[in-house]
Amino acid sequence: MATDKTFYLETFGCQMNAHDSEKVIGTLEHEGYRQVTSEEDAGLILYNTCSIRDKAEQKVFNRLNDYKKLYKAGKRFGVLGCVAQQEGEKIFERAPYVSLVSGSASYRKLPEMLSRLEAGESRITGLDDRQTDEAFETEFTSRQNPYRGYITIIEGCDKFCAYCVVPYTRGKERSRTSTSVLEEARRITDAGYTEIQLLGQNVNSYSDPEGKRSFAELLAAVGEVPGIRRVRFTTSHPRDFTRDIVDVIDAVPTLCDHVHLPVQSGSSRVLKMMAREYTCEWYLERVEWVKAARRPISLSTDIIVGFPGETADDFIQTMDLLGQVQYDCVFGFKYSARPNTPALTMIDSIPEAEKAARLQVLLDRQREIQRVNYASHLGQVMEVMVEGHNPARGQVTGRSSQNKPVNFTSKQPIAPAPGSYAQVKITGTHPNSLVGEAV
């Protein structure tokens, strides 16, 4: 292993994985490691993995195969995250050059595992069972995002949706104390961040171990931390989405006017097969709460097409739901079987071509809905937080409070820095973004 203790880390998957990687980087740096930007320059190569969909999982093994030649050059490999927890020691069989396999709940053991790696051990595992009470909190977080600070407030999942592998890879639900969350929020603002995003597999299932605050009360408290201008949260589960969440968004201006509320299907029959434990009517009641808010709150969702047993009529009901809710954004996916999930026992009789056709119909319809929704912002002036620049187009890139991408021009001699804010007049719209000029 390289004597200068260098590492390369690539992250696959969700925002929680991205934030977990920030914690891993901070821990490695505290242990004397230095991050580099390519596998070839690293002594330790780490992949923080996602197993929510088959393609994400396959990407990791493809990447390992691409770089296994580096093993002969003395490199060491580690697989972290959900694929590591899911596959466990089978990873050593599939990729014998991997030396470290660790699920996310075991990252607190990283210093010990690194010491064993440095001592020459070649098969080190950090795997917790589902019942672990441990969470991965660290004061050594190395924040990689220049404009948004992430805080995980709850880990794991107790919902056991029929298609989802997360309860098996992330463990049971474990919430942090509201005191520790607020302490971290204050540290983030002291570091210069003005936007915080609260994270959880089911973020609104949060249950304060201290009994001090509900999820809505925690949102309000974070939003009132001095220096905070924006607070986001993701992902919400409809089962635990309560009216007080909408009330607090209305009451606290720093809470962003955007809710991501995955529905997965517009058919109550399919929702029952998915074990979502709500009906379409239940879900639409929560949508009505959002639409009745004093502030216009943007809604986005996740939808799975082609779940085992989904009929043409079930799919029509999902399309009807799109028309009724008028989402600002939909993340649509074809069903894919995941290891250990109850849906594996269901007959997946829908051909891949039919799944693909349904998905395309859904995405085409949603694109037209978004075209109308985004066009409604024409002529408005909105606050945009800068995220970066597109030199080829001479534009600044950013995001509105409703989480809509905004590309705009600025007459300032120096381009605004990521994390700064601009008032932007919207002069053009597309189905997935807004165009404007700073005013």
pLDDT at residue 216 greater than cutoff 90: yes
* pLDDT digit string, tens, across residues 289-316: 999 999 999 999 999 999 999 999 999 9
Its pTM surpasses 0.85: yes
How many whole angstroms separate alpha carbon 386 and alpha carbon 17?
23
pLDDT value for 1: 43
Helices marked H in 43-202 — which ranges?
Answer: 54-67, 82-87, 90-94, 110-118, 166-169, 178-190
Domain harbouring 428, CATH code: 2.40.50.140
> Do 122 and 30 sit in the same domain of this protein?
yes
User: Mean of the per-residue pLDDT values for the chain?
Assistant: 93
Domain edge (last residue) among 222, 256, 290:
256
Residue 161 domain flag: yes
Using the predicted structure, report yes or no on whether residue 150 has a pLDDT greater than 60: yes
Pair (166, 60) in one structural domain = no
Q: Is residue 113 part of a domain?
A: yes
Q: In terms of domains, do 16 and 115 share one?
A: yes
Residue 140 lies in a domain: no
Task: Confirm whether 173 is domain-assigned.
Answer: yes
Q: CATH no. for residue 227?
A: 3.30.750.210
Burial class (CB in 10 A: 0-12, 13-18, 19+), 193: buried
Q: Are both 14 and 95 inside the same structural domain? A: yes
Task: Confirm whether 163 is domain-assigned.
Answer: yes
pLDDT at 108: 83
Does residue 370 share a domain with residue 294?
yes
- Any domain includes 296: yes
Q: Which of 196, 227, 256 is the last residue of a domain?
A: 256
Q: What is the CATH number of the domain that holds 116?
A: 3.40.50.12160
Other C-beta atoms lying within 10 Å of the C-beta of residue 119: 9
Residues 227-242 pLDDT 10s? 999 999 999 999 999 9
Token couple for 252: 């606290």
Q: Please check the confidence at residue 43 and state whether its pLDDT lies above 50.
A: yes
DSSP 150: E
**Could you tell me if 91 and 28 lie in one domain?**
yes
Averaged pLDDT, 352-377: 98
> Is the pLDDT at 51 greater than 70, yes or no?
yes
**Confidence check: pLDDT of 129 > 80:** no
Answer yes or no: do 242 and 272 share one domain. Answer: no
User: Could you give the angle at the alpha carbon of 309 between the alpha carbons of 306 and 312, nearest 5°?
Assistant: 65
Q: What is the mean pLDDT of residues 342-370?
A: 96
Q: Does some domain include residue 135?
A: no
Q: Which of 324, 348, 376 is the last residue of a domain?
A: 376
Task: Give the pLDDT confidence score for residue 2 in this predicted structure.
Answer: 43
pLDDT digits (tens, 9 = 90+) for 318-351: 999 999 999 999 999 999 999 889 999 999 889 9
Has residue 193 been placed in a domain? yes
pLDDT at residue 251 is higher than 90: yes
pLDDT at 138: 65
Which residue range(s) make up the domain with 83? Answer: 6-126
- pLDDT at residue 3 tops 60: no
Are residue 251 and residue 267 in the same domain, yes or no?
Answer: no
Number of domains comprising the chain: 4
CA atoms within 13 A on the CB side of 256: 26
Q: pLDDT tens digit string along 89-105? A: 999 999 999 999 999 88
Long-range CB contact pairs, 252-256, < 8 A, 24+: 252/219, 252/220, 252/223, 252/224, 253/223, 254/223, 254/224, 254/228, 254/229, 254/230, 255/219, 255/220, 255/223, 255/231, 256/230, 256/231, 256/232, 256/401, 256/402, 256/403
